[in-house]
Chain A
């Protein structure tokens, strides 16, 4: 394994700084080779805007985006790819859903685990539209209490929001039950799939979710700067942005047809070329196999963390309920110092603090200090997990 280099940092093969990346919940650092190639090839060989002309490069650019849309629809079990709206991030998808659906004085029910990309749009709407927000409780492993959630629904509830899995505890949420409940009560459900798209199977053909926000750069293994929202037919949020689409150009009004209605402005075609290639890769490997790999790594992580003195794990005790995210604190240790040591001495990249989710930390009792979070992904290796566990134990 690594040796200690000048300055006290361990070095990897060839004397390069060792980099053990355990922050996959933030973004997947390593992408399939085809992602780099697709982006490079788009930039060099195509390079034009889609929809703004009909020459062959423009049609190729348009085709790349259509492909990405179709492949993502297929991955999510969505019949009509028009229901997939692309944008710059999962945050943008969540903003579109939340701001596009909620009207003055509406009520919304959320879980206690929401990321700030849900909490902040809601806070803005509390100010601007006088909406009311209720939060369903979670148990000690970060699982939403569905009977509490149901008890919060009122005649004024216009939206329910739930993450598919928490970015703090990794806990997979009961989205199937929640979708059933929302369908029964006639309330639209928005699912935040930032942590799960590409690494946890979900079939929107059978689970009646109304809107699902996704991040293109985490489990989907595309580049940063792509994400979006699935919108079920018949659900009609107001557009978040207005502008040129290349369609209905005679009108100064936003077009009504999807996805154009929600996709103003020149799209991130290089990013979508990368996402499209990543979706090919995922299609070949399969989400089921990706999930199995993460479970294998996660079991090693869980066993290892449990065996280290002073470590308290804040999350599920079994990988059956965990997407691959592990949050912990350490008795009488400052977790920021631990993170700094791991990074500076051993090249281990983890994430410390509140992970943009103060609400979730309040719910699990780790606010305001937060936790040290390590998260594995498809490209993580058993050796990396074991190396991290060894260095943590030595501290």
Chain B
């Protein structure tokens, strides 16, 4: 069965959000920017959806670039 769970990356700064979207795309991950779902956080307007299975790899990519973020599991309604 296909994995339906996703993750949302929540950023500390707008610059990090912007650059992370590019980094992840350029590294071949399927991503989409979205307003962070309210049930996850009310912190930041810019979130990045990634596949659940990419979580570890995206985390290590962003860590390499000193991006301050949290990655939260998300099942869209």
Residues of A within 8 A of B (CB): 50-54, 59, 62-63, 65-66, 69, 80-82, 245-251, 255, 257-260
Q: Are B18 and A247 in contact (CB under 8 A)?
A: no
Q: Are A258 and B14 in contact (CB under 8 A)?
A: no
Q: Inside 8 A of A249's CB, which chain B residues have their CB?
A: 42-45
Query: How many residues of chain B are within 8 Å of chain A by beta carbon?
Result: 23
Nearest chain-B residue to A62 (Cβ)? Answer: B18
Task: Enumerate B24-41 residues with CB–CB distance to A below 8 Å.
Answer: 33-35, 41
Q: Are A62 and B13 in contact (CB under 8 A)?
A: no
Pairs A–B under 8 Å by Cβ, sample size 8: A51-B45, A63-B22, A65-B18, A81-B15, A82-B15, A246-B44, A248-B43, A249-B44
Q: Are B35 and A54 in contact (CB under 8 A)?
A: yes
- For residue B63, CB closer than 8 A to chain A, the reply is no
Most chain A beta-carbon neighbours within 10 Å: one of B12, B13, B19, B41: B13
Q: Inside 8 A of B43's CB, which chain A residues have their CB?
A: 247-251
Q: Are B35 and A245 in contact (CB under 8 A)?
A: no
Q: Are A62 and B45 in contact (CB under 8 A)?
A: no
Instruction: Report B66 CB to chain A, min CB distance, Å.
Output: 7
**Residue in contact with A53 in the complex, picked from B18, B35, B41, B68, CB distance below 8 Å:** B35
Instruction: Report B67 CB to chain A, min CB distance, Å.
Output: 10
Nearest chain-A residue to B21 (Cβ)? Answer: A59
- How far is B47's CA from A272's CA once the two chains are assembled, in angstroms? 23
- How far is B47's CA from A69's CA once the two chains are assembled, in angstroms? 21
Q: Are A247 and B12 in contact (CB under 8 A)?
A: yes
**What is the total of A-B residue contacts with beta carbons within 8 Å?**
75
**Residue in contact with A248 in the complex, picked from B12, B21, B22, CB distance below 8 Å:** B12
Residues of B within 8 A of A (CB): 11-19, 21-22, 33-35, 41-47, 66, 68
**Residue in contact with A54 in the complex, picked from B12, B45, B68, CB distance below 8 Å:** B45
Q: Inside 8 A of B14's CB, which chain A residues have their CB?
A: 50-51, 62, 245-247, 260
Instruction: Report B30 CB to chain A, min CB distance, Å.
Output: 16
Instruction: Report B54 CB to chain A, min CB distance, Å.
Output: 19
Most chain A beta-carbon neighbours within 10 Å: one of B12, B16, B46: B46
Q: Are B13 and A250 in contact (CB under 8 A)?
A: no
**Residue in contact with A259 in the complex, picked from B11, B15, B34, B45, CB distance below 8 Å:** B15
Question: Which 5 A-B pairs have CB atoms at the shortest separation, nearest pair first?
Answer: A54-B33, A250-B42, A62-B18, A51-B14, A257-B13
Instruction: Report A267 CB to chain B, min CB distance, Å.
Output: 10
Q: Inside 8 A of A250's CB, which chain B residues have their CB?
A: 41-43
Q: Inside 8 A of B13's CB, which chain A residues have their CB?
A: 82, 245, 247, 255, 257-260
Q: Inside 8 A of B21's CB, which chain A residues have their CB?
A: 59
- How far is B67's CA from A81's CA once the two chains are assembled, in angstroms? 12
Q: Inside 8 A of B44's CB, which chain A residues have their CB?
A: 246-249
- How far is B13's CA from A80's CA once the two chains are assembled, in angstroms? 14
Q: Are A69 and B46 in contact (CB under 8 A)?
A: no
Q: Inside 8 A of A251's CB, which chain B residues have their CB?
A: 43
- How far is B16's CA from A81's CA once the two chains are assembled, in angstroms? 10
